[in-house]
């Protein structure tokens, strides 16, 4: 079992560190926007500053704007100067006023101003009953800003990240967070709780592995009711790596006889179907091509690589990746696959993330250097999040695929074991 565990650590990218890239599109004229803070009803200057930085960061991460980075104060109605900012040459002004605190309900008023005409394009008011979730209030306002302007959507900003983080030896907690990791709430703690996987697009439940009397056990946790339900247990290894689009099937990695293979678990019937049966290591199955096929990582070439087979048992196995000698940590969206690959030249410890298509020979490198692992697609497939660990500290990296930009958000306490988006 030690060999299997060590392979899984590599194949799932658990302990990788990384560097990040920040490559900005060249030759594309983005609308120039200024963020103005008209808040007067927040007494906590630190909280006020945090909110401004999240709003500013969201504008940058959207990659839809050329963002003026100055902290510009204003009244909510503005003046001739603040309604045009002619000295900065801006086209748009996004002004907001926040009321409340992180410990009370919040209200956010926003208005978008055409800086060339000093006229208001639209105004909206948002409320958040739980002030602790204030990052999501900022995210929502930027999501709707891009929608109003018919710019590339960034709805994924409103989605939760879920991750397991190590807290001490054989102890890990499962946490839900916003994509910047500013908001974090521990959901499951006590013992070793690993490999959380969302149970559907609505993010109301998730699956995770815990240990009951040293036996790997898969649970489903319902965020609405706060209850957990045992799904299945198995000796050796048990991990939920993917869930079908309709939520009816779970892809499992199981090793009841010390040989890890890919299985499909039918939630309604509780039936278990073995998909692979290879006398080696098959792990990390992910549905692809409309859930008709399964992509997984295997050592059947003598090193970890990415393969695909039919979602029906007994299908032929097809090699998907033809470069590198350690290709692992796979995730899928529609007909696309992202995976982490150990580079064969230069620093032997370098892992980069690549994007390929199941329909063509397309391949694209998404990271430039360092160790980059455990990629996960956003809900719209337009962004990829991945684990970064540098100097003993974990971070989340976000790559905006169409915009060719990358961002990093550090986790200040603990190390991330695995993530889902």
pLDDT in tens, 183-205: 999 999 999 999 999 999 999 99
Report the SS3 class of residue 139.
Answer: helix
- In this predicted structure, what is the pLDDT of residue 413? 66
Identical fold, 2-22+159-420 and 32-148: no
Distance separating alpha carbons of residues 61 and 384, to the nearest angstrom: 12
Higher pLDDT, 349 or 330: 330
What is the mean pLDDT of the segment spanning 356-385? 90
CATH number of 2-22+159-420: 2.120.10.30
pLDDT band for position 88 (50/70/90)?
A: confident
When pLDDT is averaged across residues 44-48 and rounded to a whole number, the result is 96
**Per-residue confidence (pLDDT) for residue 247, from 0 to 100:** 95
123-126 CB contacts, 8 Å cutoff, 24+ apart: none
The beta strands (E) that lie in 205-259 are given as: 205-212, 215-222, 227-233, 238-243, 249-254
Report the range of poorest mean pLDDT among 8-12, 16-20, 254-258, 370-374: 16-20
Rounded to 10°, the helix 45-62/134-148 angle is 40
What average pLDDT is seen over the chain?
89
Q: How far is Cα 330 from Cα 339, in angstroms, rounded to an integer?
A: 4
pLDDT of 219 > 80? The answer is yes
When the candidates are 3.30.70.890, 3.50.50.60, 3.40.50.10070, 3.40.50.1820, the CATH number that belongs to 32-148 is: 3.40.50.10070
The residue ranges of every structural domain in the chain are 2-22+159-420, 32-148
Q: What percent of the chain has pLDDT over 90?
A: 75
Q: Tokens representing 358?
A: 């199941």
Contact 136, 122 (CB under 8 A): no
Helix (H, G, I), strand (E, B) or coil at 205: strand
CA atoms within 13 A on the CB side of 72: 25
Q: State phi, psi for 157 to the nearest 5 degrees.
A: -60, -25
pLDDT for 273 beyond 90: yes
| Region 272-284 average pLDDT | 95
In this prediction, residue 1 carries a pLDDT of 43
pLDDT of residue 6: 38
DSSP letter string, 13-50: TTT--------PPSS--PPEEEEEE---B---HHHHHH
């Amino acid at each position: 079992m030690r060999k299997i565990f060590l392979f899984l650590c590599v194949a799932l990218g658990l302990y990788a560190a990384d560097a990040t890239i920040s490559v900005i599109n060249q030759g594309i004229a983005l609308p120039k926007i200024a963020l103005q803070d008209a808040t007067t009803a927040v007494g906590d200057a630190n909280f006020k500053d945090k909110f401004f930085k999240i709003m500013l960061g969201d504008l940058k991460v959207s990659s839809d704007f050329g963002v003026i980075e100055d902290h510009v104060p204003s009244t909510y109605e503005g003046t001739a100067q603040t309604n045009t900012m002619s000295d900065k040459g801006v086209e748009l002004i996004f002004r907001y006023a926040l009321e409340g605190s992180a410990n009370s309900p919040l209200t956010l008023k926003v208005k978008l101003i055409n800086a060339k005409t000093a006229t208001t394009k639209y105004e909206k008011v948002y409320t958040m009953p739980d002030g602790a979730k204030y990052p999501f209030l900022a995210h929502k306002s930027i999501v709707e800003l891009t929608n109003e302007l018919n710019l590339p959507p960034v709805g994924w900003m409103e989605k939760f990240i879920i991750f397991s983080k190590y807290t001490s030896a054989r102890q890990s907690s499962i946490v839900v967070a916003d994509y910047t990791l500013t908001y974090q709430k521990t959901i499951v703690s006590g013992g070793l709780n690993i490999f959380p996987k969302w149970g559907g697009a609505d993010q109301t439940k998730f699956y995770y592995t815990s240990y009951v009397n040293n036996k790997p056990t898969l649970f489903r946790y319902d965020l609405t009711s706060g209850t957990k339900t045992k799904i299945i247990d198995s000796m050796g290894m048990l991990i939920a790596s993917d869930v079908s689009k309709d939520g009816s099937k779970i892809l499992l990695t199981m090793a009841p006889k010390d040989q890890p293979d890919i299985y499909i678990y039918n939630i309604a019937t509780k039936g278990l179907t073995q998909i692979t049966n290879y006398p080696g290591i098959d792990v990390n199955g992910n549905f692809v091509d409309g859930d008709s096929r399964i992509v997984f990582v295997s050592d059947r070439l003598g090193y970890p690589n990415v393969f695909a087979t039919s979602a029906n048992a007994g299908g032929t196995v097809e090699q998907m990746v033809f470069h590198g000698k350690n290709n692992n940590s796979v995730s899928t969206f529609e007909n696309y696959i992202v995976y982490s690959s150990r580079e064969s030249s230069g620093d032997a410890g370098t892992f980069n993330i690549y994007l390929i298509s199941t329909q063509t020979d397309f391949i694209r490198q998404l990271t430039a250097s360092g160790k980059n692992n455990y990629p996960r697609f956003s809900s719209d497939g337009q962004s990829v999040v991945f684990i970064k660990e540098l100097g003993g500290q974990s971070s989340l990296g976000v790559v905006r695929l169409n915009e060719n930009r990358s961002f990093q958000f550090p986790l200040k306490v603990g190390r991330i074991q695995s993530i889902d988006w």
